[in-house]
Structure 1
Amino acid sequence: MNRTNCGYPLLFPRQNWRHYALRSLQFAVALYLLAFFLFPVGFLFLKALQNPDGTMGWGIIALLFANPVSWESLQNSLIVATGAACLAGSLALAAAALFWKSDIRPSPFMELCGFLPLFMPAFVLASSLDIIVGGHGGLPAMLQNLLGISRANASLLSLTLIEALHYFPFILIALHLSTRASSPQAHAMARLGTSWRRLIRQVFVPLALPGLAFAMALTFLKVIDDLATPLALGITNMLAPQAYHRIAVYGAQDPLAALIAAILFITSGLAWFASLGFIRQNVNLFPVTFNDNRPPPTSASMRGRFFITFLGVVYLGCYAGLILSSLAGVWSHTPLPETYVLTHYLKAFRFEMSSLYNTLIYCGFAALIDILVALPLAHAIAKAPPHWKQRLGWLVAGTLCIPGVTLGIAYLALFRDIQLPLSNLPLDATGLLLTLAFSIRGLPFALHICSLALNSVPASYIEAARTLGCAPAKIVSRIVFPMLRFGLLLAFTLCFSLAAVDLSLAALLVPNENNAPLAYSIYLHIQSPSGMNVGSALAIISFALLALILFGIIHRLHRRQGSHRTLSPPLFPTHRTTGFAHESSHH
């Protein structure tokens, strides 16, 4: 019998036609990645090195950085992304230490809410805070008057604070999930006389560093790729807004836009792979447990629960402006609306449901492509030799560093002059490019979950079925697929949600406003004074749909409790840590 070190046996014999069909499918996956990832990015770099006269050289780089705005944009992007990641990381590290010392375990729903920043755009928070402070640009104006700084510095500081506030829950939950398993042992050692200061310094911080590095790196990538939030605050001297501006003015063939997009890709890649050096153990994405055997509440745990309540109130207050705007009837110069109506929700349901339909089409097909690509790719990685398996896993994880602006400009530059067969429409005039770009961005997450789902299939079940003479097709339909079903559903939901909030790709690749997805429609409405209320109602509706999805996931996890293994995947399986003893295992 064929066995592998991943525990997932080969379903089909080597000389079976099904084996060759699987190899053909894996070859098609390789062609897909080559055509829609490697070729566009490679063409973008060639375009970035093209001089204005059409020759290849380094003159275009000198031309770009001869402009002081380019240097300023690069510096501002690095300052805002680094500042937001460091500020959110520092605050989350202190809060996670409080959770660890208190030995409190937030509910599964609260843990999943920590991942909400990945599933909602930051510009919604910026718009809500602007409403609370007092209109468009109110937050930078308030900081300018309060700190006595220039308007430009106040805008950058506002953007940094908004991004840090937005991604703080994600970093906090990543740290909490990375360290909570050792909290009971820490309490046992504290009762034996070990000081908490020493425990936090020698135990908590080493355990928290992998999760902190991963979450801060992902925050940096999200912030530097953010296009909507800087534009919502009126900030244009950053890399992503500069690339978008040049595409809007000079078209997709502009070499300076391609060079800015390439710089974004290089900067994100360096930050991402630098963070991988800090990851020394498993970093769990969805380690949700339902163990209710908790110790009796103490004064420390009560402080932790009070802190959780305080965070909930703070974030509810941050989004209160959006809620009030969606319900406001007459609201002129008063702190609260003078009248409350539901007409904005009625308008949203009556006139803006086409954007929801567009989202279902774009993101649904993108998530389906991700699953169809991730399953054979995960199978190929699982069957690869050990040294290739780790390299391929890290390579695919590295695709997380692709900014949406870079991918969108690469698609526009490469596929602009290609027409669809049996049609006179160019490829960039359809939503196909947007769907393909969404699928590339969601592929690392789909691959990660599909790999875990495949590894969760017990090898003994399949070997026993083959020993009894069961056909491979029946093994797949009766054994493998039922065990993969929940993992595939989770991968589809995750990829769909990530694509639904990707505004950078939507702003560059959407054919027209009538075919815009929901997130882009929300952005257009909120940016318009006359459509602010309807845009707020659309945002609340999208949040409600996301909450329903989260409740569905939690309900499904509860049903799987006790009868199935909880899906708790390590993102980078390089070292394993159990309690206070570090045990290395090289794959």
Structure 2
Amino acid sequence: MNAEARLGGGVTLLLFVLIFLPLLAVLVNVLFPGVFFGKPHFGGFGLLGEIFHRPLWRKSLLNSTVLALGAASLGTVMGGALATVRARWQFASARLLDLTAWVLLIAPSFMIAQGWVLFASRDGLVNEWLGWSWVPAFIFQPAGLVFVMALSKFPLAYLAILAATEWNVNQFGQAARLNGARPWTVWRTIELPLSRPSYLAGWTLVFMDTIGDFGLPAALATVYKFPTLTYSIYSAIYQSPVRFDMAGVLAFYLVVLLVLAMGLLMFSIRRSRFDFLNARAVKTVKIKPRSTWLLNIVVGCFLLLCLGIPIGTSAVVSLMKTAGGGLTWDNLTFASYRELFAGAAGDHELLGYLAGLSHSLTIAAFAAVFSMLIGFAAAYVLSFTESRFRSALQLFSIVSLAVPGVVLGIGYIFIWNQRWLEPVGLHLYGTPSLLVIAGIAGAIPYAVRVQLGAFGNLSGTMLKAAAIQGAGLFDRMRHIVLPIVRQSLLLATLASFGTSIFDLALASMLKPANYSLMPLVIDRAFEFSRYGYATAATVVSCGAVVLIIVIAQAAGRRLLGIGDRSGTRRKDR
């Protein structure tokens, strides 16, 4: 077996253990309950049908499906409309729209949801300050939750559809207009059908991200009863007695829904037609609309709604003595921040925030570095080798995009909580090491995708020439590929770090006893109605992570010589 085959086999095995094996364990536990606890027996398929007879199970499935379908449809409409406007017109708030989309894409959903709860609950800011009782009545019901979820998930559809508008073929629309078609007719009959695959891809991405979301149900649990598959799985693990049968069945149906969505996405990609991009295709040229001021106002109000309300509410509440006291000088205080940095939350139920932040940063740092290395190897195998493991590696990398944190968490409990692992030192459940491994698994999809984009711009001719000259696999990776894609390695590391540190689902399910983690400190403080403490922790955490990423990016670019033209000239000489 040559070096490329060994690399492909090793990376595939890693992804199998980290991602596919936990998923497989969850599915096996449905048919063979007790198999991971020394009492294997075939339970048959009857347990799967129990979801239609047990009220909580049935309600969880129904709520998740309705929420995902509604958020996917409304989010795609929002994203499609904004992408069309962004692609066609030039206006001042366009860059702010792009920035907001990326912030919402990276921001943890439980923090966004907590901001909405503080704003829209019956004792929230909008009801206490303005007396708008209709806002709580609207938000805390299924249609309102769909609306909130669509506001936070629309960037997935927006970015997918916007990418498809880079090129266009104007003669189709011009021919229609010459025959008397109005702009709406041209868009409906020509432009929309040509961009249908991107709309379908955006819809499926929003659907998958919504149905696997854990943050919104966790935040809502304090004020509104709305069981979903993800939160019911978590509850089944942490109730007494533990209901592994319930968790397994709900996880099975969650996976089924995700598989159906992935199948729809693959179908849309295969049915996509690109032959309309002929020699007459040109880059989309933005024009300045007549009523630019009106467009800026509309986009600005939308951005205030989707990002300003949740983030602004958290920032305001963190500075207030009581949320109902109004925004007055007498009600403003830094007490929550002082309590935050005092090292304890002032409540025996809460562990110190600083310790939790330190633990979360350390785990995220290890996960980011290792996921970047694994992503680099995986992207190399997929881009430049003919390894027989490429198909399996491609499958695992795609599956990793759809596996929710709660499914990954319960799978890790099944696998790493085995007595026979103790003699060999691999009984990792209840240790920080498992959190690092879970963080790596959760970050790998981002690390692989970021690096695949950079590898796609690299020609394999140089690698073949180096191989002919006798350069080994690792020499080619180190001396040719690494210097060219070093910026993508930095971006992959930072992206993995940002996504790992706020993972509430994995932190909730895998945390060791008496071990503090930043997302859990925030969630627990929110659960105990310590809103000032929770929001102050949210503000400080987000600020700290952004600062670390900015400093790490600047330091990384300096150390790696990215953008150093003088250094390049010296090397050329």
Report the TM-score, using the length of structure 2 for normalisation: 0.79
Q: Match of 2:165, SS?
A: helix
Residues 63-462 of structure 1: pairs in structure 2 closer than 5 A = 63-104=50-91, 110-134=97-121, 146=134, 154-182=140-168, 195-234=182-221, 235-250=225-240, 254-279=244-269, 297-299=288-290, 301-314=292-305, 315-334=307-326, 338-351=330-343, 352-383=353-384, 393=394, 396-418=397-419, 426-459=427-460, 461=462
Identity among equivalent positions (%) equals 21
Mapped partners of 2:381, 2:157: distance in 1: 32
Identify the range of structure 1 (269-278 vs 332-341) with the bigger mean alpha-carbon deviation: 332-341
Is residue 486 of structure 1 aligned with residue 473 of structure 2? no
Q: CA deviation at 1:337?
A: 7.1
Tell me the CA shift for residue 181 of structure 1. 4.1
Q: Secondary structure in 2 aligned to 1:27?
A: helix
Alignment correspondent of 1:567: none
Tell me whether 1:527 sits opposite 2:521 in the alignment. no
Measure the CA separation in 2 of the matches of 1:340 and 1:282: 58
Is the alpha carbon distance of 1:32 and 1:100 closer, same or farther for their aligned partners in structure 2, counting shifts above 3 Å? closer
Q: RMSD over aligned Cα, in angstroms?
A: 4.2
User: Following the alignment from structure 1 to structure 2, what is the Cα–Cα distance between the partners of residues 165 and 281?
Assistant: 27
List runs of 5+ in structure 1 lacking aligned partners.
Answer: 1-18, 284-292, 564-587
User: Partner letter of residue 175 of structure 1?
Assistant: I
Shift of 1:228: 3.2
Aligned-pair CA distance for 1:425: 9.2
SS where residue 429 of structure 1 aligns? coil
Deviation at 1:247, TM superposition (A): 0.8
The answer for the alignment partner of 1:543 in structure 2 is 542
Distance 1:553 1:307 in 2: 36
Contact 1:450 1:488 (8 Å CA) reproduced: yes
| Shift in Å, 1:140 | 12
Task: Please say if 1:33 is aligned against 2:15.
Answer: yes
Distance 1:197 1:148 in 2: 36
- Contact kept in structure 2, 1:430 and 1:511, CA below 8 Å: yes
Q: Does the 8 A contact of 1:261 with 1:406 survive in 2?
A: yes
Structure 1 residues 98 and 143, CA, compared in 2 at 3 Å: closer, same or farther?
farther
In structure 2, distance between residues paired with 1:384 and 1:479: 15
CA contact (8 A) 1:103 1:183 kept: no
Equivalences, count: 532
Task: For residue 83 of structure 1, report the CA deviation from its aligned partner.
Answer: 0.9
SS at match of 1:327: coil
C-alpha distance in structure 1 between counterparts of 2:79 and 2:461, whole Å: 43
Is the Cα–Cα contact under 8 Å of residues 190 and 196 in structure 1 kept in the other structure?
A: no
Q: Which moved more, 1:190-199 or 1:519-528?
A: 190-199
What displacement does 1:164 show?
1.3
Is residue 487–residue 562 contact of structure 2 (8 Å, CA) maintained in 1?
A: no
Distance 1:106 1:348 in 2: 36
Q: Could you tell me how far apart the structure 2 residues matched to 1:534 and 1:185 are?
A: 59
Query: Cα–Cα, structure 1 residues 403 and 134, in superposed 2: closer, same or farther, change >3 Å?
Result: closer
For residue 329 of structure 1, report the CA deviation from its aligned partner: 3.0
Q: Is the 8 A contact 1:48 1:60 kept in 2?
A: yes
Q: TM-score, normalised by structure 1?
A: 0.77
Distance (Å, rounded) in 1 between the aligned partners of 2:251 and 2:126: 29
3-state DSSP of counterpart to 2:331: coil
Moved more, 463-472 or 29-38: 463-472
CA–CA distance in 2 between the matches of 1:57 and 1:337?
65
Helix, strand or coil at the partner of 1:57 = coil
CA 358–168 in structure 1, closer or farther in 2 if over 3 Å, else same: same
User: 1:91 and 1:336, CA in 2 relative to 1: closer, same or farther beyond 3 A?
Assistant: farther
Aligned equivalents of 1:123 and 1:28: distance in 2? 35
Can you list the C-alpha shifts for 1:182-205, whole angstroms capped at 9, x where unaligned?
499999889989742244224542
CA distance in 1, matches of 2:241, 2:417: 10
Q: Which amino acid aligns with 1:125?
A: I
Q: Which residue of 1 aligns with 2:28?
A: 46
